[in-house]
Structure 1
Amino acid sequence: MCITLSLITLIWFSKTQPVTLTSVACENVLHTCQQGVIPWTRCYEENIATCRQGRILRQNFIRLMVNSSQEAEVSPTIQHRVHIPSSALQRSGGAESVDEVLLVATVIDSTFFKLSPPRVKGKGRALIPDQPTHRQGIVMDGLVLAVRAGNHAVTNLPQPIILTFKRNKQVENGMCVFWQESQLDNGTGSWSTDGCDTSDKGNEFICSCNHLSFFAVLVNPVLSVDKSTAVNLSYITYIGSALSIFFTVISLIIYISLQRRRPEKAIGVHMQLTGALLCLHLSFLLCSFWVWLLDENAESRVCQVLGLFLHWSLLASFSWAALEGFHLYLLLVRVFNIYVRRYLLKLSLVGWGFPTLIVMACGISGVYGKYSLELRDDNNHNSTAQMCWMSSEFPQRLLVSYITTLAFPCLVILCNSCMLGLVVVKLRQLRGGRRGTESTSGWKKMNREKATKLWKDCATVLGLSCVLGLPWGLASTTYISLPGIYVFTILNSLQGVFMFLWSVALICKPRSDDNSSVRDPSTQKMMTTSFNK
């Protein structure tokens, strides 16, 4: 019995005490620490300085004694360089005054660092103030730089440690981070920017940190743009969305009056699209200002509902843009003898039902919440802005976002672009056919009208482009240049204004149709179909 208790005590004591791997080769420390009970990062930091140096020197691994009264600079790889001031080396020796300290610098594969899942907050439970913030992004080159000096932790340094990460290829939005262990003590953690500043020199990232740890550069994070640019784009978006809300309300009034005078299915589809755009711009403004009105650390179910509403409105806008393209296909390709029972009702089931099913599935999964935007000012200092959207802490947020806000819109834009091309072909065929029937005496008159009709055709194509949602296709230009971002923001924030102009054009359309019906009976026959009555 005593022997059993002694064994249990010995096992418990060994698990709760730090592991000393003095007999393990340095190249095996990482593998051995991963087999232990304590977090491997803590075990690695404690034993990498006391491990046994093998006969074959490990690549990308530097361990040497340096003078504590002088600055030290080492480069474990050609892409990584570490500069440590003398004050940091002296502090690493602890209270004792030492002439030399052991400096270790190496690189580790980023796949060994496991991100901890976001903490699910129960009802009535507040956020933990010191809970680490998850930084989204990809570790540049998949390598993490580990730096260790002396036998004591080095933190809150008056002179920062300078770490240089060279770029092998063109990347953007770099952010210096270090590895912070999870409070759960399960070997997971998160990337944090506390105590580290980032400086982008074009061909390399310079990290200034006030401590020693595992360092890396996250590239292509959730969003990292210049702060002044983000402020300008925000003002443009807010003003454009406010104007869109005002003009979409007027457009709905116009469409309702037109529907009463001449009920057409095309007007009904336009009215549904305008309603979706109204919801989109209204929900965007609510999601943007709601977090600003609340405390940043406050948990709010309202923010989750607003994020759901914004996602639903966005999907509904693209769904009705796709249905606009489908309706245009029926008008241009299958012009005559079309009858669909309860046509608008069936379109509404698709236009409103599809987004509802998607957001219900996402809402049950807990996708929605606060979305963090990483902003960078002129001094390369990072700050965070928030809005109600898909939560940054949701693990599958990127997958859901890519499918619902990238793949689906791209499919809609591709199909509607084909429809717009078909419109251009039909207009050219119509103009060409009419030219063939004109007599020689009528050429002068046609030449006088040619410029006017060309402008009308261009206006029709531009109007249909906005109705079909093709300005969203300019999102591809945001990856090329800053002017592309401004053009994309301006055009898409003013969608409600464009829909208003299209509704005004429909009001003026009957007069032009009446004036041209005698001269152009083929056009009247094409547009006045059993499907459009």
Structure 2
Amino acid sequence: MEQNPKSVRMWIITCLLFILGQAMENDRDFKMCGTWRHGNASRNLKSDLKVGCKVIEISANESTLSIQGSITAKCTRSSSIPLESNPLQNPSHFCVFWEPLLDLMIVEVNGKKYTLCESHGLQGTCCTDLSLEDQKIATLYGIENGSIHGDTISYNVMELYRFRGDTINCKEKFCDEASQKRSGANMIEEVVMKSNKTGRVDLPCAQSTIIEIKEGFTGLNFTLPAPRTVAPNMTPTVYLPSCLKSQSTITSKVVCTYYKDKSLFQRGSSDAVLLDDIVGLSVENEIIKNLPEPVRIRFHHSALPANLSRRCVSWDTREDNEVTWKYDGCETEIHDTETECRCNHLTYFAILVQVEQKATVRHLEALTFITAVGCAVSLVSCLVLFYWLCKRSLYSKRVKKTQISLVHRGLVVAIFLLCLFFILTGTMANVGKKIVCQITGSLLHYALLSTLCWMAMEVFHTFLLIRKVFNSTLPTWIFYLVGFGLPVLLVGILLLIENVYDVDIYGERKIVPSDDVNNPYRMCWMLENDKSLLAHYIINVGLLAVVVSSGAVMLFLVVREIHNRPDWKKIHVAFLSIWGLTCLFGTTWGLGFLDFGPVSETILFIFCIINSLQGFFLMLRYYALERMKKKDRSISDGSSSGSSKQHMLQTYEKS
């Protein structure tokens, strides 16, 4: 039996309508578009909208595009709007947009928008889930290529489309949809911003406050709205600085949203533990960064266990597809039952407190005491050794010995500065001035880099002497440039980054003892944010690895050069040479790479003792060598044995 082509086409359309009707049941917002075939005479847009939830009819004829029915929550509108007539623009494209949560309806004809219903705020009960109920075929004029959300309903010319709606709790459904999407926080803030309302806006998943800032805004301190289940004294407070007001706009809207449910933010961040309270801040049509005065958010919470710490973090949901909490741009001020976040940026993101296990150090008091005593002894030793080296340089007539003394003096000065600033760093941190701690931290970093650079110069100069690469000495300025100039360049770059990108690299660093977590040791050093840690691993760890590895290689070469000499068989001579060269070449700093496993505490004690006393060991080595040289000269009786022994003990002075 042969079927009528027209019947087949209608059957396909009917099936498609049924499928679309089922699919649209989960669509909150409504968008119906089509091509309006009309005459060349004047045209108008007719509306007749009423409160209720029955049907909405979208129809068209030769001169009128009509939207009528009962689907609004508060809007009642009956009007006829004349449209721009252009005989050459036929047919016309149109779309009908309906947002039930906002009670907002907009019709767009040939790119021009007409608002039929203004937003009346966020609606609790609304008419949504519009599904196609009926349609009527036209002869000549009407709607062609009608579609819903981009899916074509019919290619034929239709006179009328009728849609039926259902009454639901629109706020609850919106929150359910937002919780299923990574951009759910953005959805909430965008809808609140579009509600054309100031003051409090309530949703089941969030409570917002819309603040309008105008000319003369001097700042505002307020408490965020909260659900009834939350005590008023436990809700966050926010301070908005006056610099939020943009000079390019007369008025701006700021949306401050309080999220008690962290499910919108926790997904994908299972390794992070967040406090329940989360605050989202955004400014209408603006991205705010590098504020001269920070936004302050104060979170109130119950007292946390002593073994937990708190830090303020932020997440820009528009830039990060994954949940990535960052420390940049926020400072944390901690009190017993409060945590204040001071942040220099503001956009569509959440500011919250992250709770993490504290990294504690065992025996911190003993380690601090040992290091302080060792540094004090090294300070005195460096002064004595520097005097001896300067005196020796004045009386020396050999150029190479003078240059060797120069390298030694540079290392002694660097170790002196390192010990001095390390002793001062705890005192300066307790002064409480941020700028003072930043300066002290940068000076301590400079002294550390200078010490490592001069150790590298010791290795390089010894290599030149042992291998006799050059017959003449190197210019003195090369040693000063590397030993004192390179650290200035590296620290200067980090300080420039601080000022240009407004990222704190130096400042107060807290080291928490395991036996008293409430009384951390404060020092001025590099901070623990992402950029500081990156600089630490690249500059500090990288330079240390170069010095330790090259020093170990040079130590091996020196020992191999002299191990066959007769005097090398004596235990005290061998120990003195190896120990002295080990300190001189910085290989004792390699213990820092062994700080792991069951022997980590032992390694940490050895590291602190040896390296804090490094200045003392160098002075002791120099004194022992001088005594042995005098003894050899007294018994040599003009023989070469004394000079041979002196030559062996001062291996890196070989010429």
TM-score after normalising by structure 1: 0.60
Q: Which residue of 2 aligns with 1:389?
A: 525
- Counterpart-to-counterpart distance in 2, 1:524 and 1:215: 64
Cα contact 1:338–1:530 (8 A) shared by 2: no
- Within 5 A, what are the aligned runs for 1:124-523? 175=308, 218=356, 224-226=360-362, 229-262=363-396, 263=398, 264=401, 265-292=403-430, 294-295=431-432, 298-300=433-435, 302-334=436-468, 338-342=471-475, 344-366=476-498, 367-378=504-515, 381-392=517-528, 395-431=530-566, 453-480=570-597, 481-514=600-633, 515=635, 517-519=639-641
How many angstroms does 1:497 deviate by?
0.6
- CA-to-aligned-CA distance 1:244-267 (integer Å, 9 cap, x gap): 111100110011111112251222
The alpha-carbon distance between structure 1 residues 189 and 505, as it changes in their structure 2 partners (threshold 3 A), is: closer
- CA-to-aligned-CA distance 1:223-259 (integer Å, 9 cap, x gap): 5324xx2222111111111111111001100111111
- CA-to-aligned-CA distance 1:62-85 (integer Å, 9 cap, x gap): xxxxxxxxxxxxxxxxxxxxxxxx
Q: SS in structure 2 opposite 1:370?
A: strand
Letter paired with 1:285 = I
Cα contact 2:446–2:487 (8 A) shared by 1: yes
- Please point out which of 257, 261, 269 is paired with 1:110: 269
- Counterpart-to-counterpart distance in 1, 2:495 and 2:413: 23
How many angstroms does 1:491 deviate by?
1.0
Over the residues paired in the alignment, what is the CA RMSD in angstroms? Answer: 5.0
- Counterpart-to-counterpart distance in 2, 1:105 and 1:260: 74
How many angstroms does 1:496 deviate by?
1.3
The alpha-carbon distance between structure 1 residues 521 and 470, as it changes in their structure 2 partners (threshold 3 A), is: closer
The alpha-carbon distance between structure 1 residues 376 and 428, as it changes in their structure 2 partners (threshold 3 A), is: closer
- Counterpart-to-counterpart distance in 2, 1:234 and 1:488: 12
The alpha-carbon distance between structure 1 residues 520 and 231, as it changes in their structure 2 partners (threshold 3 A), is: closer
- CA-to-aligned-CA distance 1:429-480 (integer Å, 9 cap, x gap): 334xxxxxxxxxxxxxxxxx786x2321111110111111121111123333
The alpha-carbon distance between structure 1 residues 5 and 195, as it changes in their structure 2 partners (threshold 3 A), is: farther
The alpha-carbon distance between structure 1 residues 519 and 178, as it changes in their structure 2 partners (threshold 3 A), is: closer
* Larger fraction in strand: 2
Letter paired with 1:363 = L
How many angstroms does 1:327 deviate by?
1.5
- Counterpart-to-counterpart distance in 1, 2:173 and 2:336: 32
Aligned residues: 395
Q: SS in structure 2 opposite 1:338?
A: coil
How many angstroms does 1:378 deviate by?
3.2
TM-score after normalising by structure 2: 0.50
Cα contact 1:266–1:532 (8 A) shared by 2: no
The alpha-carbon distance between structure 1 residues 508 and 39, as it changes in their structure 2 partners (threshold 3 A), is: farther
Q: Flag structure 1 segments of 5+ consecutive residues without an equivalent.
A: 50-90, 96-102, 133-154, 163-172, 197-212, 432-448
The alpha-carbon distance between structure 1 residues 365 and 418, as it changes in their structure 2 partners (threshold 3 A), is: same
- Counterpart-to-counterpart distance in 2, 1:493 and 1:232: 14
Q: Which residue of 2 aligns with 1:209?
A: none
The alpha-carbon distance between structure 1 residues 237 and 23, as it changes in their structure 2 partners (threshold 3 A), is: same
Letter paired with 1:463 = G
Q: Flag structure 2 segments of 5+ consecutive residues without an equivalent.
A: 1-80, 82-104, 107-112, 124-169, 192-201, 207-227, 233-260, 282-288, 338-350, 499-503
Q: Which residue of 1 aligns with 2:180?
A: 29
Q: Which residue of 2 aligns with 1:208?
A: none
Letter paired with 1:233 = L
- Counterpart-to-counterpart distance in 2, 1:22 and 1:391: 44
The alpha-carbon distance between structure 1 residues 291 and 14, as it changes in their structure 2 partners (threshold 3 A), is: same
Q: Which residue of 2 aligns with 1:38?
A: 189
Q: SS in structure 1 opposite 2:189?
A: coil
Letter paired with 2:412 = T
- CA-to-aligned-CA distance 1:151-186 (integer Å, 9 cap, x gap): xxxx7569x8x9xxxxxxxxxx98465877799x99
How many angstroms does 1:289 deviate by?
1.0
- Counterpart-to-counterpart distance in 2, 1:357 and 1:37: 48
The alpha-carbon distance between structure 1 residues 427 and 131, as it changes in their structure 2 partners (threshold 3 A), is: farther
The alpha-carbon distance between structure 1 residues 278 and 156, as it changes in their structure 2 partners (threshold 3 A), is: closer
How many angstroms does 1:23 deviate by?
5.6
How many angstroms does 1:352 deviate by?
1.4
How many angstroms does 1:384 deviate by?
3.9
- Counterpart-to-counterpart distance in 2, 1:288 and 1:372: 10
The alpha-carbon distance between structure 1 residues 253 and 399, as it changes in their structure 2 partners (threshold 3 A), is: same
How many angstroms does 1:29 deviate by?
2.7
The alpha-carbon distance between structure 1 residues 415 and 34, as it changes in their structure 2 partners (threshold 3 A), is: same
- Counterpart-to-counterpart distance in 2, 1:7 and 1:182: 37
The alpha-carbon distance between structure 1 residues 530 and 355, as it changes in their structure 2 partners (threshold 3 A), is: closer
The alpha-carbon distance between structure 1 residues 332 and 430, as it changes in their structure 2 partners (threshold 3 A), is: farther
Q: SS in structure 1 opposite 2:510?
A: strand
Cα contact 1:338–1:531 (8 A) shared by 2: no
How many angstroms does 1:92 deviate by?
4.8
The alpha-carbon distance between structure 1 residues 156 and 407, as it changes in their structure 2 partners (threshold 3 A), is: closer
* Larger fraction in helix: 1
Cα contact 1:277–1:496 (8 A) shared by 2: yes
- Counterpart-to-counterpart distance in 2, 1:347 and 1:405: 20
The alpha-carbon distance between structure 1 residues 259 and 376, as it changes in their structure 2 partners (threshold 3 A), is: closer
Percent identical residues: 22
Q: Which residue of 1 aligns with 2:145?
A: none
